[in-house]
């Protein structure tokens, strides 16, 4: 099948300093040179050297009209993003202008690229693996410093190298098992089986465990932490939300039951993305709308990475406070926040302090903006702990990779747990083959069309 030549506008819509039209494929140079007239030449000049920048004009071949003054860069296969011939036209930027140049390029025989198709070609040609393709999308979509660093760490292929090393070990163990299947135990091959199992136990399992644990403990560096503000009506949840995000996001009134829906807002706290969620005050209510809001609040608390359990320090404790205490008592990551500390104490703080002595407590006044910095520190401390984010490795699997790692781990666990009896080696072999397959899906060595489609559908056109 002949590879098509694809083209797209690679810069974002709107006007700006420069706009780039990217062309990739066997016809890239021919298409560009049909439209490009090099400065100082009449014919256009047909010789283009790789990795050079050429100055000239884009000319409409039908009318000979000059469309724009541009810089043309040529990157010959295989030394380009896609490993194909790539030409980039750097023009002035403006929606109409870029569309016009793109139209000329398409008229010369290029096809409009699908979302992520340039990166897909980089993957298909073997220049990058799937984890690196995912890193490209993550880099583009990163909303916090930490997400950016995680993406950059994955872009250089370290994940692929670690997965490759695991594959090598599993393949070694597998070849030992094959040997035993072929020759039976007549040559004392039981030792070989044992050696293979030890390799899995001591080499492969710890590395798998480590990667899965990094996902569980550090995934917030990629996707952010979900922090949910909970508490009975009127304790000041929405006021606190507004203080933490720095503007009036949620409605605040003295009427209990003001917030009825889930309100969320993202902000970056010392480089980590926080998704802060304000909820409806939890109480018994006959209002059908409020009741739905309260159900949603309960669900949000269950799904939270961290709960800010808010209490009104100026009041005595009541039934509704106790329900919240119950929800956070059972090991859920939570910080107890006593609000309205500008008012005389009403007794709630003491009682709650006794009920959940293991939880960190912070006193604030959301209204007068007191204790907010301390609360922010406590939030970070609760998720990050004392670890130095800058110095530790940023190699953190994403959800897709973590699922495949878990499946690999399970297969090897089953292989290790088998009872030595007839067909024992066959079972081990089956499990190891499955493990290799799941591991191969991470880097794309084993092609899973579903995964590939899902990954590239997150890209924009032109990348
Ligand atoms: N004195 C004092 N009043 C506060 C403080 N924080 C909030 N309030 C007041 O308490 C009332 C309720 O505040 P909200 O932020 O709407 O409370 P809420 O928890 O979101 O209430 P619901 O949405 O009804 O559940 C408002 O009148 C706020 O001005 C505080 O720190 N000190
Ligand atoms: Mg509210």
Cβ(129)–Cβ(117) below 8 Å: no
Cβ(138)–Cβ(461) below 8 Å: no
Predicted TM-score (pTM) of the model is 0.81
pLDDT in tens, 52-61: 999 999 999 9
Structure-block tokens of residue 115 = 């979302």
Topology of the domain covering 135-218+396-457: 1.20.120
Q: In the chain, which segments carry CATH 3.30.1360.120?
A: 6-113
pLDDT in tens, 107-148: 999 999 999 999 999 999 999 999 999 999 999 989 898 899
In the chain, helix, strand, coil percent, each to 5?
Answer: 45, 20, 35
Please tell me the distance from the alpha carbon of residue 182 to that of residue 179, in angstroms, as a whole number.
5
Confirm or reject: Cβ of 91 under 6 Å from ligand 1.
Answer: no
Q: Which residues surround ligand 2, an ion (CB under 5 A)?
A: 237-238, 258-259
Q: In the chain, which segments carry CATH 3.40.50.300?
A: 222-384
Output the tens digit of pLDDT for each of the chain's 463 residues. 579 999 999 998 888 889 999 999 999 999 999 999 998 765 555 689 999 999 999 999 999 999 999 999 999 999 999 999 999 999 998 889 999 999 999 999 999 999 999 999 999 999 999 999 999 999 998 989 889 999 999 999 999 999 999 999 999 999 998 887 776 655 556 788 889 999 999 999 999 999 999 999 888 888 889 999 999 999 999 999 999 999 999 999 999 999 999 999 999 998 889 999 999 999 999 999 999 999 999 999 999 999 999 999 999 999 999 999 999 987 789 999 999 999 999 999 999 999 999 999 999 999 999 999 999 999 999 988 877 767 777 899 999 999 999 999 999 999 998 777 767 788 899 999 999 999 999 999 988 888 888 889 888 888 8
Span 6-113 CATH architecture = 2-Layer Sandwich (3.30)
Confirm or reject: Cβ of 252 under 6 Å from ligand 1.
Answer: yes
Structure-block tokens of residue 55 = 């100055």
Topology of the domain covering 222-384: Rossmann fold (3.40.50)
**Closest residue by CA, ligand 1 atom 26:** 254
Give the distance (Å) from ligand 1 centre to CA of residue 223.
Answer: 30
* Mutate-to-test residue for ligand 1 from 366, 368, 369, highest number of ligand atoms within 8 A of CB: 366
State residue 450's pLDDT score: 86
Q: What are the CB-based long-range contacts (under 8 Å, 24+) for 421-429? A: 425/177, 425/180, 425/181, 425/193, 426/181, 428/177, 428/193, 428/196, 428/197, 429/174, 429/177, 429/178, 429/181
Torsional class of 354: left (φ above 0), alpha (ψ -120 to 50), beta (otherwise): alpha
> Which atom of ligand 1 sits closest to the CA of residue 252?
16
Q: In the chain, which segments carry CATH 1.20.120.430?
A: 135-218+396-457
> Which atom of ligand 1 sits closest to the CA of residue 235?
19
Give the distance (Å) from ligand 2 centre to CA of residue 368.
Answer: 17
**Closest residue by CA, ligand 1 atom 32:** 340
User: Between vectors from CA 410 to CA 408 and to CA 412, what angle results, nearest 5°?
Assistant: 70
State residue 189's pLDDT score: 61
Confirm or reject: Cβ of 279 under 6 Å from ligand 1.
Answer: no
Confirm or reject: Cβ of 257 under 6 Å from ligand 1.
Answer: yes
Q: Environment class of residue 110 by beta-carbon count within 10 Å: exposed (0-12), middle (13-18) or buried (19+)?
A: buried
Of the candidates 296, 294, 272, the residue with the CA atom closest to the CA atom of residue 284: 294
Give the distance (Å) from ligand 1 centre to CA of residue 299.
Answer: 22
What is the DSSP secondary-structure string of 93-133? Answer: --HHHHHHHHHHHHHTT-EEPPBTHHHHHHHHTTSS-HHHH
């Amino acid at each position: 099948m002949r590879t098509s030549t694809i083209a797209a506008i690679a810069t974002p819509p709107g006007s700006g300093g420069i706009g780039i039209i990217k062309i990739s494929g066997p016809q890239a140079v021919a298409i560009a040179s049909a439209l490009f007239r090099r400065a100082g030449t009449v014919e256009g000049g047909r010789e283009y050297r790789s990795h050079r920048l050429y100055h000239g004009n884009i000319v409409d071949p039908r009318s000979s009209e000059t469309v724009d003054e541009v810089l043309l860069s040529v990157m010959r296969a295989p030394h380009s993003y896609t490993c194909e011939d790539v030409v980039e036209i750097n023009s002035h930027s403006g929606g109409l202008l870029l569309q016009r140049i793109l139209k000329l390029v398409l008229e010369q025989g290029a096809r409009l690229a699908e979302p992520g198709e340039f990166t897909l070609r980089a993957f298909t040609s073997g220049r990058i693996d799937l984890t690196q393709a995912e890193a490209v999308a993550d880099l583009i979509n990163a909303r916090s410093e930490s997400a950016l660093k995680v993406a950059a760490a994955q872009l250089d292929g370290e994940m692929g190298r670690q997965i490759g090393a695991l594959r090598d070990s599993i393949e070694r163990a597998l070849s030992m098992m094959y040997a035993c299947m072929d020759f039976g135990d007549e040559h004392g091959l039981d030792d070989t089986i044992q050696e293979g199992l030890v390799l899995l136990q001591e080499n492969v399992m710890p590395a798998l465990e480590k990667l899965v644990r990094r996902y569980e403990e550090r995934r917030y560096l990629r996707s952010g932490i979900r922090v949910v503000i909970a508490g009975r009506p009127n304790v000041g949840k929405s006021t606190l939300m507004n203080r933490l995000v720095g503007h009036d996001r949620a409605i605040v009134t003295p009427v209990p039951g003001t917030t009825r829906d889930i309100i969320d807002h993202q902000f970056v706290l010392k480089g980590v993305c926080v998704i802060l969620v304000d909820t409806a005050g939890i109480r018994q209510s006959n209002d059908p709308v409020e009741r739905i809001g309260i159900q949603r609040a309960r669900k949000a608390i269950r799904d939270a990475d961290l709960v800010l359990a808010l209490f009104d320090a100026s009041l005595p404790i009541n039934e509704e406070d106790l329900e919240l205490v119950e929800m956070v008592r059972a090991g859920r990551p939570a910080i107890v926040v006593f609000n309205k500390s500008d008012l005389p104490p009403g007794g709630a703080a003491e009682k709650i302090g006794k009920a959940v002595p293991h939880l960190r407590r912070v006193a604030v006044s959301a209204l007068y903006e007191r204790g907010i910095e301390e609360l922010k520190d406590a939030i970070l401390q609760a998720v990050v702990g004392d670890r130095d984010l800058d110095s530790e490795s940023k190699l953190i699997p994403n959800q897709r990779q973590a699922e495949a790692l878990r499946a690999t781990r399970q297969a090897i666990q089953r292989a290790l747990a088998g009872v030595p009896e007839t067909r024992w080696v066959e079972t081990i072999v089956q499990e190891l083959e499955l493990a290799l397959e799941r591991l191969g899906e991470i880097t794309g060595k084993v092609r899973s069309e579903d995964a590939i489609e899902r990954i590239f559908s997150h890209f924009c056109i032109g990348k």
